[in-house]
Amino acid sequence: MAVRQLSKDVFSVGAIDWDRQIFDELIPLPDGTSYNAYLLRGRVKTVLIDAVDPAKQKELFLNLNELDISSLDFVVANHAEQDHSGAIPAVLERYPMAEVITNPKCKGFLMDLLHIPEEKFIEVHDGEELDLGGMTLKFIYTPWVHWPETMSTYLQEEKILFSCDFFGSHRAASNLYVEDECKVLQDAKRYYAEIMMPFRQQIKKNLEKLSLLAIDKIAPSHGPVYDRPSLIIDAYRDWVSDSVNKKVVIAYVSMHGSTQRIVDVLTSNLIKKGMTVVPVNLSVSDVGQFAMELVDAGALVFASPYVLAGMHPAVVYAAYLTNALRPKAKVVASVFSYGWGGRGAEQLRNMLSSLRAEFFEPVLIRGNMLDKDAGLLGDIVDRMGGLLSHV
């Protein structure tokens, strides 16, 4: 990634990872990603805000060479996860006089993860400021976006918020600023869904905290810079709110067609009730897309055949993930297709203990669905329609 300039003395010096396809061995990256780092040159001090994944440290150093950075005073570590911090030991080796500025909790993580010596750290407290000479940094604790130690750094004179993972998006692109707003918001929503959604209540508090700042630009550590901050701030406010859409996500697997028929009938009848319906075939789905659909769904349906007396493993995984992400859905229903029996319904309810939703009684259909079974599905449709009619 070439050096790009945010202002006279503020530069983007991170790296684009065009080819990365999966993150944390879990999250698909259909649009690649970037590891953004920012170089600030004050009259007195020079600062690097965040670093890059160790696999991309060569690009970081090439960019610092391009700016002729022969000395570095500080590295600000907003977050300890290695895609942002992993190159810090190499930076400290190259610039041995540099010190790491972070909060006490992040300091502990960096000592554990990267074995950075304690004497290399400067601890800062929430709201503390640092004068670089004509540039003033303010450190703002923004925990649980998405780790407990994460903070943001605010450049007061230029009103730039360096937010690390907060407001980020996994997106590899050559442009510095947001250009395709719709596409970037989709990537940002996927990113929020995958790692931020469980922390809605904490994020609400962080948004209130940041509302006290005048922000002209948001420079996250993944994805493009927002020169219209309201675009992503308003989106986050919507995502973390308690409001939901008239949307039903149906997560299902069908082995021999019986469950598929159930899903088809449910989908058709819910559409007739004016619902937006998103059937997710878990045997072929992108887990990130599934998570994104959960963000604003008003209702969830899990549909599974029984396998060895329990749910299909793909539905087990989807239920586990849903419970971990804690979406704000108001209603949860379940339908099971079975042959000789099992305990899938009980298994599912136990796995969704984190959800604060109304749970319908599970519907069990033996064998291939008959016309008489359609009435059971009709009850689900009618109740969902009633409960979501006012959202």
- Tokens, residue 5: 């300039």
| Domain closes at, from 190, 211, 240 | 240
Helix (H) or strand (E) holding 11: strand 10-12
Domain range for 27 is 4-240
Q: Are residues 296 and 197 in the same domain?
A: no
Which region among 17-26, 343-352, 363-372 has the lowest average model confidence (pLDDT)?
363-372
- With a cut of 80, say whether residue 76 has pLDDT above it: yes
Q: Are residues 168 and 253 in the same domain?
A: no
Query: Which residues lie below 8 Å from residue 352, measured CB to CB, with a gap of 6+?
Result: 319, 322, 323, 332, 359
* Helices 287-294, 181-191: crossing angle, 10 deg rounding: 90
Which CATH number belongs to the domain containing residue 324 in this structure?
Answer: 3.40.50.360
Q: Where are the alpha helices (DSSP H) in the chain?
A: 57-66, 82-85, 88-94, 104-114, 181-191, 200-210, 230-240, 258-272, 287-294, 313-325, 344-351, 371-387
Tens of pLDDT, residue by residue over 279-311, are 999 999 888 999 999 999 999 999 999 898 889
Give the chain's domain count: 2
Give the three-state DSSP class for 313: helix
The count of other CB atoms within 10 Å of the CB of residue 13 is 26
Q: Are residues 172 and 233 in the same domain?
A: yes
Q: Are residues 109 and 257 in the same domain?
A: no
What is the structure's pLDDT at 71? 95
Mean pLDDT, all residues of the chain:
94
The pLDDT of 104-121, averaged and rounded, is: 97
Q: Are residues 299 and 330 in the same domain?
A: yes
| Domain closes at, from 240, 266, 300 | 240
Identify whether 310 is part of a domain.
yes
Which CATH number belongs to the domain containing residue 233 in this structure?
Answer: 3.60.15.10
In 3D space, the residue among 112, 119, 55 whose CA is nearest the CA of residue 87 turns out to be 55
What is the structure's pLDDT at 323? 97
Q: Are residues 168 and 56 in the same domain?
A: yes
Q: Are residues 99 and 146 in the same domain?
A: yes
What is the structure's pLDDT at 1? 65
Identify whether 391 is part of a domain.
no
Identify whether 41 is part of a domain.
yes
DSSP label at 226? B
Q: Are residues 261 and 161 in the same domain?
A: no
User: Distance from CA of residue 269 to its chain's centroid?
Assistant: 32
- Tokens, residue 131: 């004068």
Please tell me the pTM assigned to this model: 0.93
User: What is the C-alpha separation between 220 and 240, in angstroms, rounded?
Assistant: 19
Q: Are residues 140 and 279 in the same domain?
A: no
Identify whether 188 is part of a domain.
yes
User: What is the C-alpha separation between 78 and 139, in angstroms, rounded?
Assistant: 9
Q: Are residues 256 and 202 in the same domain?
A: no
| Domain closes at, from 213, 240, 267 | 240
